[in-house]
Structure 1
Amino acid sequence: MKHNLFNLGFFGNKANLFVATALLSVSGLSAQTFSNFSYRGNDAIYTNNPLKADEFYSPILQGCYPDPSITKKGNDYYLVNSSFAMFPGVPIFHSNDLVNWKQIGHVLDRPSQLKVESAGISAGIYAPDIKYNKNNDTFYMITTQFAGGMGNMVVKTKDPMKGWSDPIKLQFDGIDPSLFFDDNGKAYVVHNDAPDQGKELYSGHRVIKIWDYDVENDRVIPGSDKIIVDGGIDITQKPIWIEGPHIYKKDGRYYLMCAEGGTGDWHSEVILVGDNPKGPFKPAPNNPILTQRYFVKDRKDKVDWAGHADLVEGPDGKYYGVFLAVRPNDKFRVNTGRETFILPIDWSGEFPVFENGLIPLQPKLKMPAGVQNQTGQNGFFPNGNFTFTENFKNERLDMRWIGLRGPRENFISVSKEGLKMKTFSSNIKAMAPTSTLFYRQQHATFEANATLKYKPKSDKDLAGIVCYQNEKFHYVFGVTKKANDFYIVLERTESDHSKVIASEKISLGKDVQFKVEAKGDAYSFSYSLDGKSFKNLGGTVSGDILSTDVAKGFTGSMIGLYSTSGNDIQP
């Protein structure tokens, strides 16, 4: 994104790197050094379903990459996701073929764009929509920011590779805004909203509303709003949470596609058509056009909660739809969060339908004609089973690393030893920026390792790793001090209630290696002081608190490299 301290890399040049490291060393605050991080996923579904030469895996983005939206300019496709209180916000990906994706940065990569300092992890940025307007050769990203008094907002750019504008606040209520640019130069915003005051008929009753959009001044035109869907496809059935609307134009007609049923196991995608972007709209007779809600709970290789979709014409002239869904683990818990899936679209009739979107979703798809699968190669995002390694010696930090509620660059720098972390006084339970660098959990079965060079000075100091669902649900696994002794501790926090699972006095030498392993719901934490043998601490523990269905909210579990001078864990 923009070439400054908060750019899509890490520090833009050697001078910035030197200054940041120097500031860290003279700050008077202890610095921890992490090195040799690795993450290895090993899900059976990929082992049991190897790819043929003409196949690729869906989801295309594994882990917490929800609410996908997609647009194209020529042969360039751009995809964005919700990021909530993660910083930087709204990851953006580029592809030329819909199979191979590279992350090119984040849309919201500066504090002037993202006001999430005191937000809960599931607040912040919801349901971004990306659109290319061919009438003025400009890209737009419109979203709702539940933080900092921002509300609905839009940013724009001529080139998504070169950064985005500061936000423009838009004057309307509701959520999930989407832009539509018509061929005649007119523009519209469509979004979810509450019914008019006094007209709510039941819990979950929502409406879809449309406004004229002034492209010259980037504002909705006051008084132009109109309700175009009330309740959902059939209000007599009391449908809930009609949301995530998008308008498409095909063969002179206007198609309105929305999510319906809430984001859980009744989630679905529905479609309507009209002759005017302001309606009236006629529902398809066979809605929904995508859902996983009709199947037995304990089905094999379960995919669930499918919906919140967006459509785009592919390089082969065929339409494709990206959407979110989840893959529960062996206890039917959702630890990896909402992921980005893709399916081809059959638009041979009046209405589009997701191909095989009304049967249990399969892990593999046929590639578009002429496309070669390069996922995990040449800088393209991996999927399936893969290993990610990081020694933190490259001055450009991999874009998969994120902070929470504040820029990474406020607490990290790189040196020849690895990643140095400046310690914040806020600990992982705080609804504030913490000195934690996060990597998304992307598999049900995984192993993550990190090496730490650190000697805590007091019982207020702790560093290690966290498995984090949110500020009230997480595990902390780290090293701290009590009197003159050093301890490894493992703490479980559930609903704000914390309990030390186990602690052990150690003879602290040069490095500590931390390892977390998960096999579905079973998590285990181990450490090594000699770099060879690992010792388990606390036995096997449940990953229940790392699941969306237990902890609530909208994010997936993340693995964090963590440091604090506000430790409250006592061995």
Structure 2
Amino acid sequence: MKKTKVLLLLSVVLLSVTGANSQNKPKNNPPLFSNFSYQGNDQVYIDNPLKSDEFYTPILQGCYPDPAITRKGDDYYMVCSSFAMFPGVPIFHSKDLVNWTDLGGVLNDVTQFNPHDTGISAGVYAPGITYNPHNDTFYMIVTAFSGGLNNIIVKTKDPKKGWGNPIKLGFGGIDPSIFFDDNGKGYIVHNDAPDNGKERYNGHRVIKIWEYDVENDKVIPGTDKIIVDGGVDPAKNPIWIEAPHLYKKDGKYFLMCAEGGTGGNHTEVIFKSDSPKGPFIPAPSNPILTQKYFGRDRKNKVDWAGHADLVKGPGDKYYGVFLAVRPNEKNRVNTGRETFMLPVDWSGEFPVFENGLIPLEPKMKMPQGATENKTGKEGFFPNGNFTFNDNFTSNKLDNRWIGLRGPREKFIAITKKGLQINPFETNIKELKPTSTLFYRQQHNRFSLTTTIDYKPKSDKDLAGVVALQNEGSNYVFGITMKDKDYYVVLQKNQKTRRDAAINSTIVASAKIDLKKPVQLQMKANGDDYEFAYSVNGTDFVNVGGIVSGDILSTDVAGGFTGCLLGLYATSTNDARP
């Protein structure tokens, strides 16, 4: 009997080890990617070179929206929305608000956060992050639209060492943030629908507050209260009051919110009260940040500014982070909503974003004590124009590489020759995890080149690159097979309505020689995208001419994300030459 148990146990162990190791073994003829290069070349940075005491804003280019920020001593931590990207909730660290280190994602355990069957604009968004000095603990709170989580909170003593398990919170709505008063008492504020039967118009929302039980990590039943109904001027039927943050200064409580929706009417507004539970009186100077008043065709246009958070920076000077967009020449927002920063003047009764009510500039003065702009150097996150090269020789992938609807580790393997992508039996158009390693588009003008070593075995096999706004709006450019010949093929996938089928068309294809690895290239110049290949590493052949990037922008494709650029493989290809 004992011998039988031992043999059974040994079999289980062997099976588990084999299963764990087989996850990254070659499956279905995997492609090998190497020599990845992304180069951004936006004119605004060429025209506005930095002086020694300046840095660029946006501080996080590409799809890093809905920023929230907190501070412990000289350490600043900032989080952003990630939707169905994985890991969830990217987090960054800085000592001076200029130079930021990418720490990866807060929600990095797929058993706890699993957006495997959600649209790209679902998942998690609008996080808050707060340091509580009373128990030396950081809190990240967010709304999760997958797995039945809804509003959750996670905690840690040190954000660099990971976070605890998600704790489900018993309330609805979105955009939660947590605040700790001087006496240690906790409060949560969030956006919600009006009470039943009291919705007056489309876009009518309210801000609620709950008392928070710090010892047991839950809201206290019966303590919820509406503290803003509609917005700054309810008589004007304001829409989408959201993204609330609560602050305390000089014994008074300040509630800062976004209003007007994430678009051309986006604004940031502020209220004041003697109590965290109100009544809150709007500032007469509202809005305190917006770009909605200016001409549509202004140079170096920045738009949609709002959804902000404040932090006291070096020298007790306040700074605000917020989202905004940098449209291209056709007002497309392919780079998505990005994280910007401005100094904040709080010398008077209410805070005001400095130069936040005039057209935003691309650069600003470094805060007091910041002695050097090291962005893009020594491991700090880059901005402005930069080049990102990756030969995939490191044992750990750069945190800028992400999965969609699941962890990247499920389909990649790092080898001595490069990055192997083990193709799933899923297509880029499906609401499932795909075997695609993504990098955010961070410039309106960029070029991307990668080398691929791959020989498909059938027309069901394809590997290459993809430019994706969502599952129904993307371009696929890859190598596949037809009869006994190899081809490069450019496929356009577009869904014209939410309830419509995806319309897939072959833009162009070309027969290709696969005696050696091939270079694939993608370029964008504003709204114009091009795809090309090279069999000799020097001469590139365009496939499909110039195609429009309109489907890679939210104003055409819908949703909340920016364009993602991916290294893609599938064993269920339908892009046929």
Q: Give a deviation string over 1:138-169, Cα, whole Å, max 9, x none.
A: 00000000111110000110110110111111
Task: Give the Cα separation in 1 of the matches to 2:27 and 2:52.
Answer: 56
1:515 aligns with 2:521: yes
Contact 2:27/2:422 (8 A) holds in 1: no
* Range with bigger deviation, 24-33 or 331-340: 24-33
Identity percentage over the alignment?
67
Give matches, 1:180-195, under 5 Å: 180-195=179-194
1:409 aligns with 2:415: no
The answer for the alignment partner of 1:100 in structure 2 is 99
CA 1:266–1:25: 2 relative to 1, 3 Å: closer
The answer for the alignment partner of 1:568 in structure 2 is 574
Give matches, 1:155-304, under 5 Å: 155-304=154-303
SS in 2 for 1:312: strand
SS in 2 for 1:345: strand
Q: Give a deviation string over 1:143-202, Cα, whole Å, max 9, x none.
A: 000111110000110110110111111110100001010111110110000000000001
SS in 2 for 1:527: strand
SS in 1 for 2:243: strand
Contact 1:243/1:258 (8 A) holds in 2: yes
Contact 1:91/1:106 (8 A) holds in 2: yes
Code of the aligned partner of 1:547: S
SS in 2 for 1:316: helix
Question: In the TM superposition, what is the alpha-carbon distance from 1:64 to its structure 2 partner?
Answer: 0.4
Give matches, 1:25-44, under 5 Å: 28-44=27-43
The answer for the alignment partner of 1:442 in structure 2 is 442
Contact 2:24/2:410 (8 A) holds in 1: no
Contact 1:461/1:565 (8 A) holds in 2: yes
Question: In the TM superposition, what is the alpha-carbon distance from 1:23 to its structure 2 partner?
Answer: 2.3
Task: Give the Cα separation in 2 of the matches to 1:190 and 1:68.
Answer: 16
Task: Give 1:504's match in structure 2, choosing from 500, 504, 510.
Answer: 510
- Cα RMSD for the two superposed structures: 1.2
Code of the aligned partner of 1:479: I
Contact 2:314/2:369 (8 A) holds in 1: no
Q: Give a deviation string over 1:221-241, Cα, whole Å, max 9, x none.
A: 111100000000010001000
Task: Give the Cα separation in 2 of the matches to 1:224 and 1:549.
Answer: 40
The answer for the alignment partner of 1:15 in structure 2 is none
* Range with bigger deviation, 407-416 or 103-112: 103-112
1:535 aligns with 2:541: yes
Question: In the TM superposition, what is the alpha-carbon distance from 1:103 to its structure 2 partner?
Answer: 0.7
The answer for the alignment partner of 1:5 in structure 2 is none
Task: Give the Cα separation in 1 of the matches to 2:436 and 2:291.
Answer: 36
Task: Give the Cα separation in 1 of the matches to 2:18 and 2:398.
Answer: 21
Q: Give a deviation string over 1:296-331, Cα, whole Å, max 9, x none.
A: 111111000000000000012100000000000011
Question: In the TM superposition, what is the alpha-carbon distance from 1:29 to its structure 2 partner?
Answer: 2.6
Contact 1:42/1:385 (8 A) holds in 2: yes
Q: Give a deviation string over 1:26-61, Cα, whole Å, max 9, x none.
A: 565321110000000000000000001111100000
Task: Give the Cα separation in 2 of the matches to 1:66 and 1:46.
Answer: 21
CA 1:166–1:383: 2 relative to 1, 3 Å: same
Question: In the TM superposition, what is the alpha-carbon distance from 1:112 to its structure 2 partner?
Answer: 2.6
Task: Give the Cα separation in 1 of the matches to 2:377 and 2:27.
Answer: 42
Contact 1:59/1:339 (8 A) holds in 2: yes
The answer for the alignment partner of 1:307 in structure 2 is 306
Task: Give the Cα separation in 1 of the matches to 2:401 and 2:141.
Answer: 24
Task: Give the Cα separation in 1 of the matches to 2:207 and 2:330.
Answer: 36
Question: In the TM superposition, what is the alpha-carbon distance from 1:22 to its structure 2 partner?
Answer: 5.8
Contact 1:21/1:414 (8 A) holds in 2: no
Question: In the TM superposition, what is the alpha-carbon distance from 1:261 to its structure 2 partner?
Answer: 0.2
Give the TM-score normalised by the residue count of structure 2. 0.95
Contact 1:21/1:415 (8 A) holds in 2: no
1:553 aligns with 2:559: yes
Question: In the TM superposition, what is the alpha-carbon distance from 1:540 to its structure 2 partner?
Answer: 0.5
Code of the aligned partner of 2:359: P
1:132 aligns with 2:131: yes
Question: In the TM superposition, what is the alpha-carbon distance from 1:370 to its structure 2 partner?
Answer: 2.8
Question: In the TM superposition, what is the alpha-carbon distance from 1:510 to its structure 2 partner?
Answer: 2.2
The answer for the alignment partner of 2:429 in structure 1 is 429
SS in 2 for 1:46: helix
5+ unaligned residues in a row in structure 2: which ranges? 1-16, 496-501
The answer for the alignment partner of 1:525 in structure 2 is 531
CA 1:25–1:559: 2 relative to 1, 3 Å: closer
Give matches, 1:472-487, under 5 Å: 472-487=472-487
Contact 1:21/1:413 (8 A) holds in 2: no
* Range with bigger deviation, 20-29 or 395-404: 20-29
Give matches, 1:303-452, under 5 Å: 303-371=302-370, 372-452=372-452
The answer for the alignment partner of 1:467 in structure 2 is 467
Code of the aligned partner of 1:66: P
Contact 1:174/1:193 (8 A) holds in 2: yes
Task: Give the Cα separation in 2 of the matches to 1:104 and 1:480.
Answer: 37
Contact 2:428/2:471 (8 A) holds in 1: yes
Task: Give the Cα separation in 2 of the matches to 1:186 and 1:368.
Answer: 31
Contact 1:81/1:92 (8 A) holds in 2: yes
SS in 1 for 2:316: coil
Question: In the TM superposition, what is the alpha-carbon distance from 1:508 to its structure 2 partner?
Answer: 1.6
4+ aligned runs moved over 6 Å, structure 1? 18-21
Code of the aligned partner of 2:60: L
5+ unaligned residues in a row in structure 1: which ranges? 1-17
Contact 2:266/2:305 (8 A) holds in 1: yes
Task: Give the Cα separation in 1 of the matches to 2:137 and 2:24.
Answer: 43
The answer for the alignment partner of 2:150 in structure 1 is 151
SS in 2 for 1:90: strand
* Range with bigger deviation, 111-120 or 274-283: 111-120
The answer for the alignment partner of 2:45 in structure 1 is 46
The answer for the alignment partner of 2:457 in structure 1 is 457
Q: Give a deviation string over 1:537-569, Cα, whole Å, max 9, x none.
A: 000110000011111101000110000001011
Q: Give a deviation string over 1:412-458, Cα, whole Å, max 9, x none.
A: 01011000111100010010000000000000000000110110011
Contact 2:81/2:126 (8 A) holds in 1: yes
CA 1:160–1:20: 2 relative to 1, 3 Å: farther
* Range with bigger deviation, 72-81 or 363-372: 363-372
Code of the aligned partner of 2:423: T
The answer for the alignment partner of 2:61 in structure 1 is 62
Task: Give the Cα separation in 2 of the matches to 1:285 and 1:398.
Answer: 46
Question: In the TM superposition, what is the alpha-carbon distance from 1:350 to its structure 2 partner?
Answer: 0.2
The answer for the alignment partner of 1:89 in structure 2 is 88
Question: In the TM superposition, what is the alpha-carbon distance from 1:367 to its structure 2 partner?
Answer: 1.0
SS in 2 for 1:31: coil
Q: Give a deviation string over 1:68-101, Cα, whole Å, max 9, x none.
A: 0000000000000000000111110000110110
Task: Give the Cα separation in 1 of the matches to 2:524 and 2:31.
Answer: 26
* Range with bigger deviation, 245-254 or 370-379: 370-379
Contact 2:24/2:412 (8 A) holds in 1: no
The answer for the alignment partner of 1:77 in structure 2 is 76
Contact 2:24/2:411 (8 A) holds in 1: no
Question: In the TM superposition, what is the alpha-carbon distance from 1:115 to its structure 2 partner?
Answer: 1.9
SS in 1 for 2:127: strand
Code of the aligned partner of 1:184: N
Give aligned pairs, total.
554
Task: Give the Cα separation in 1 of the matches to 2:479 and 2:486.
Answer: 7
Question: In the TM superposition, what is the alpha-carbon distance from 1:19 to its structure 2 partner?
Answer: 8.4
Task: Give the Cα separation in 1 of the matches to 2:276 and 2:163.
Answer: 28
The answer for the alignment partner of 1:9 in structure 2 is none
Q: Give a deviation string over 1:322-378, Cα, whole Å, max 9, x none.
A: 000000001110000000000000011100000000000000101112312111111
Q: Give a deviation string over 1:115-145, Cα, whole Å, max 9, x none.
A: 2000000001010100001111000000000
Contact 2:42/2:385 (8 A) holds in 1: yes
